[in-house]
């Protein structure tokens, strides 16, 4: 077991070491503040603090962030070395690393900068352009994983026989069900409104014919791409597939099928036989968090299962209250960590990790599963054609593979219909899965 010395044990330090060594490097460690215990330890050890406690052992000089309790602007001084970004540089030759990887990891993982004053978009979301990763052009890198691997390699120079469990790359496919159907099961009122719009506006006349064919059972609903999605689960047995279901009430940004609809309920039960299911808390749940409990109960009652997974609709995530609401509602896993308008690693990692409530200065049991890109990010925000989109996707898969992390993306069932501006994107989805699941 690796013994780590620090002059002081804090929640911040314990959390960061837990993520770096337990979650990323998957090795056991213990922490001590006793210099004599550290000196007498005959196995592998690492010192972290303002000064090296003894010669001949690996030492990382601390910048101080993990021994603080306040939330304040930090002097990051970002730079790059061999193409990899660094924060909190160290100007001390006694340190085995030229930056403080633990302080840097804590800053990224906790989303420290999102607790500081920042600009939000029209949906109240922290925008990628506000982040140090975007400004310094390392958003595409899983830097926290890379820093952890650098710490591992530094320790191995001192203790070449120390064993670390090899990291294993994973591919996870997630699908948000904002609208299970385009025309079917919308209820009489919404259906009549849709027909009225199609009649009044000439550009929707072709859509009216399609709508009527679907309603008469002459044609399948274009948004019903679920058998197509499940076909990949059957083709790749090791494919991890998760559906997130919007079950909020109808509104400006929430237009789901009614949770009372029997066919919709049957669909969700069918999907549950092949994939994991999670709740997709509605747009208004950000400001009215008790809606999360209501919507979780709706899904639980349909599936007769406990709901422990979540991803916020519109990716409306604000720190720390969004995650506090999920914890209160009994959610154990969240998949919202990423940006709507830009691909990349919002928290700097491709590894699931526990949420740290910076305001309360405590580690929680909520596990965050970062995603790196979304279909609408590529098609809408970046306006990429399918041929360019797959190139972006493959580069991010390569990054996840390089660090032995998880490639996690977001798709929507309606965007896999190959219609309405999404022609050619089925091929992108297929290429992504084939490339991501290949050895």
CA distance 344 to 407: 11
Helix ranges (H only) for 96-246 are: 101-109, 132-135, 143-158, 188-200, 205-215, 226-235
The pLDDT assigned to 128 comes to 96
Instruction: Give per-residue pLDDT as tens, 329-374.
Output: 999 999 999 999 999 999 999 999 999 999 999 999 999 999 999 9
Which residue in 364, 381, 361, 362 sits closest to 373, CA to CA?
381
Q: How confident is the model at residue 209 (pLDDT cuts 50, 70, 90)?
A: confident
Q: How confident is the model at residue 203 (pLDDT cuts 50, 70, 90)?
A: low
Mean pLDDT (whole number) for 51-58: 92
What percent of the chain has a predicted confidence (pLDDT) above 90? 89
Q: How many residues does the chain have?
A: 439
The pLDDT assigned to 148 comes to 98
Please give the sequence-ordered ranges of beta strands (E in DSSP) within 281-340, or none if there are none.
309-310, 333-334
Give CA separation, 410 vs 87, 141, 179, 196, 339, in Å. Answer: 29, 18, 15, 33, 11
Write out the two tokens for 333: 């896993």
Q: How confident is the model at residue 271 (pLDDT cuts 50, 70, 90)?
A: very high
Mean pLDDT (whole number) for 382-395: 97
Domains assigned to the chain: 2-158 (no CATH), 170-182+221-437 (3.20.20.370), 186-219 (no CATH)
Instruction: Give per-residue pLDDT as tens, 210-252.
Output: 878 888 888 999 999 999 999 999 899 899 999 999 999 999 9
Give CA separation, 363 vs 7, 32, 258, 346, in Å. Answer: 21, 19, 37, 19
Q: Is 374 helix (H, G, I), strand (E, B) or coil?
A: strand
Within 8 A by CB and 6+ apart from 245, the residues are 177, 256, 268, 277, 278, 279, 280, 299
Q: Is 119 helix (H, G, I), strand (E, B) or coil?
A: coil
If you average pLDDT over every residue of the chain, what do you get? 95
The pLDDT assigned to 217 comes to 86
Q: What is the pTM of this model?
A: 0.95
> What's CA 392's distance to the chain center, in Å?
17
Q: How confident is the model at residue 419 (pLDDT cuts 50, 70, 90)?
A: confident
The pLDDT assigned to 202 comes to 60
Q: How confident is the model at residue 205 (pLDDT cuts 50, 70, 90)?
A: low
């Amino acid at each position: 077991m690796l013994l780590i010395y620090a002059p002081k044990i804090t929640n911040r330090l314990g959390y960061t070491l837990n993520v770096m060594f337990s979650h990323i490097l998957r090795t056991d460690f213990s922490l001590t503040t006793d210099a004599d215990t550290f000196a007498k330890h005959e196995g592998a050890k690492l010192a972290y603090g303002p000064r090296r406690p003894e010669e001949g052992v690996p030492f990382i000089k601390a910048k101080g962030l993990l021994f603080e309790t306040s939330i304040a602007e930090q002097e990051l001084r970002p730079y790059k070395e061999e193409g990899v970004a660094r924060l909190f540089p160290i100007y001390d030759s006694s340190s085995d690393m030229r930056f403080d990887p633990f302080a840097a990891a804590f800053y990224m993982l906790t989303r420290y900068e999102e607790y500081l004053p920042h600009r939000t978009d029209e949906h109240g979301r922290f925008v990628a352009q506000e982040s140090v990763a975007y400004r310094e052009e390392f958003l595409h890198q899983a830097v926290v994983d890379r820093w952890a691997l650098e710490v591992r390699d530094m320790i191995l120079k001192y203790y070449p026989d120390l064993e670390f469990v090899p990291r294993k790359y994973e591919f996870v496919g997630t699908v948000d069900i904002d609208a299970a159907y385009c025309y079917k099961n919308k209820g009489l009122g919404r259906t009549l409104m849709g027909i009225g719009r199609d009649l009044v506006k000439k550009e929707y006349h072709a859509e009216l014919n399609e709508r009527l064919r679907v309603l008469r059972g002459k044609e399948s609903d274009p948004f019903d791409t679920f058998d197509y999605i499940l076909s990949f689960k059957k083709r790749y047995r090791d494919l991890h597939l998760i559906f997130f279901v919007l079950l909020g009430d109808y509104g400006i940004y929430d237009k789901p099928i009614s949770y009372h609809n029997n066919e919709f309920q049957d669909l969700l039960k069918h999907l549950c036989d092949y994939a994991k299911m999670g709740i997709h808390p509605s747009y208004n749940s950000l400001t009215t968090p008790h809606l999360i409990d209501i919507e979780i109960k709706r899904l639980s009652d349909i599936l007769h299962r406990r709901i422990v997974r979540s991803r916020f609709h519109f990716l409306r995530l604000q720190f720390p209250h969004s995650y506090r609401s999920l914890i209160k509602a009994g959610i154990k896993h969240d998949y919202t960590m990423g940006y709507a308008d830009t691909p990349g690693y919002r928290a700097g990692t491709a590894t699931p990790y526990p949420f740290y409530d910076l305001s309360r200065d405590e580690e929680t049991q909520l596990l965050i599963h970062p995603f790196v890109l979304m279909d609408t990010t590529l098609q809408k925000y970046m306006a990429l054609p399918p041929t360019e989109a797959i190139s972006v996707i493959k580069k991010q898969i390569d990054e996840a593979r390089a660090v032995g992390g998880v490639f996690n993306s977001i798709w929507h069932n309606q965007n896999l219909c190959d219609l309405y501006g999404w022609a050619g994107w089925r091929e992108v989805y297929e290429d992504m899965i084939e490339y991501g699941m290949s050895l």
